[in-house]
Amino acid sequence: MLRYFTSGESHGEALVAFLSGLPAGLQVDLAFVDRELWRRQQGYGRGGRMKIETDKAHILSGVRQGATIGSPIAVLLENKDWKNWQEALPVEPGSPEKHKPVASPRPGHADLAGALKYNFPEARYVLERASARESAARVAAGALAKLFLKELGIEVLSHVVAVGGAVLAKEAAWQQIFEACARNEILLNCTDAEAEQRMKEEVDKALRTGDSVGGIFEVVAHNVPPGLGTYAQWDERLDGLLAGAVMSLQAVKAVEIGAGVVAATSLGSSVHDEIGYGAEHRFTGFTRARNNAGGIEGGVSNGEEIRVRGYLKPISTLRRPLQSVDFATREPVKAAYERSDVCVVPAAGVAAEAMVALTLARCALEKFGGDSMQETRRNWNGYLEQLKNY
């Protein structure tokens, strides 16, 4: 079973991702992992932190001579900012006057709920772990899952559908998303230049006014065969697993599969994807004229592209802070402000790609098994043959 954990604090020494369950013999392209980490750091509207950090994956275990060896993988990502925080967040008791308390909780952040839960007098330790810096570790683990999926021909990418009120009106084809993600300069990772400019204006407005903006990203998994996930048990449904995985990302407040939101207020005849049969073969001869289901029916992948959207709330740290209360005095004060992003929709999309890739890799390994890539590939090829002959 593919399992993963992360550890590390936003301003601690490092983040660590642990990934267990990948078969032996998977070639690990470190440049690919680092590019994924770079992609998570891009996008117009990021704060000063991203100028400090240039994430590089340092693999501690589980990969030798360029390939996985079947044992757990640990990846370390150094926090370059640690040098500025060693005295504020020492492992040993250190000097209390050097600590940097977060004195008034930010509405929308984890500060108040976390301080109450863990019985902290202020929110420093809450922020440190709740922060989306953690998502860098997920991207490192997700990059390894992507390398595994690539061996099966499956690719996972994302693009931005909306920033604030600026929305991409048309569906983006896989090739357009592929080209957008291949760029070496990423503005808002939108496939349409005109829509991207409108999105930039939304960020500019927020930057000018000390505010923040949210948006919508879409993750697309390309070339997924029918048969991943199952309706047999509630907790094995692919839609449920993907929704949980994407929703678990910081600031994602809604998840949509395919055209799920519009479908709820439409008639069945205009929603469901009619079925045909043709000579051309991908996995099978069955065809669909459209993909409102987002590639999943009954909790099972149906052979079409998997499309998952994440809806991000605006960032909660505001340069013009909202009203809050001082933890110590209980007096009304403005919420704490610390250097912050203003818009993170493209970056959240990259982190969501990692979550989708990890979920698909887990489902693929549950279906095909294999302790070595040779064994997994043999099982995979046998299944493709079965689909072809169906």
Ligand X SMILES: Cc1cc2nc3c(=O)[nH]c(=O)nc-3n(C[C@H](O)[C@H](O)[C@H](O)COP(=O)(O)O)c2cc1C
Residues that bind ligand X (CB under 6 A): 47, 109-110, 130-132, 135, 249-251, 313, 315-317, 340-341, 344, 347-348, 351
The C-alpha atoms of residue 101 and residue 329 are separated, in whole angstroms, by 14
Residue with Cβ nearer ligand X (224 or 352): 352
Which one, 228 or 345, has the nearer CB to ligand X?
Answer: 345
Between 48 and 66, name the residue whose CB sits nearer to ligand X: 48
**Of the two residues 222 and 319, which places its CB atom closer to ligand X in the complex?**
319
Q: How far is the CB of 132 from ligand X (least distance, A)?
A: 3
Q: Which two tokens stand for residue 24?
A: 């032996």
Q: Which is nearer to ligand X, 79 or 316 (CB)?
A: 316
* DSSP-derived secondary structure letter, 104: S
- Rounded least distance, CB 317 to ligand X, Å: 3
What are the structure tokens assigned to 359, written together? 């979920």
Q: Closest approach of Cβ 90 to ligand X, in Å?
A: 24
Of residues 342, 45, 51, 32, the one with CA closest to residue 181? 32
Strand, helix or coil for residue 84: helix
Instruction: Find the shortest distance in angstroms from Cβ 174 to ligand X.
Output: 24
Give the 3-state secondary structure of residue 246. helix
Closer of 239 and 341 to ligand X (Cβ): 341
β-pair type (3-7, 296-297): unpaired
For the CB of residue 359, give the shortest distance to ligand X in the complex, in Å: 17
State the first-to-last Cα distance of the chain, in angstroms, to the nearest integer: 28
Smallest distance from ligand X to CB 110, Å: 5
Report the candidate in 115, 27, 18, 22 with the shortest Cα–Cα distance to residue 61: 18
Q: Exposure string (b/e) for 48-71, b if CB count within 10 Å is 16 or more?
A: ebbeebebebebeebbeeeebbbe
CB 304 to ligand X: min, Å: 27
DSSP state at residue 215: E
Q: Is 29 exposed, middle or buried (0-12, 13-18, 19+ CB in 10 A)?
A: middle
How many other CB atoms sit within 10 Å of the CB of residue 89? 19
Rounded Cα distance between 358 and 13, Å, is 25
CB closer to ligand X out of 103 and 224: 103
In degrees and rounded to multiples of 5, residue 253 shows phi and psi of -115, -10
Q: How far is the CB of 180 from ligand X (least distance, A)?
A: 18
Nearer residue to ligand X within complex by CB, 112 or 224: 112
Nearer to ligand X, 24 or 348 (CB): 348
Query: Least separation, in Å, of the C-beta of 316 and ligand X?
Result: 5
CA atoms within 13 A on the CB side of 139: 27
Cα separation of 42 and 357, whole Å?
Answer: 20
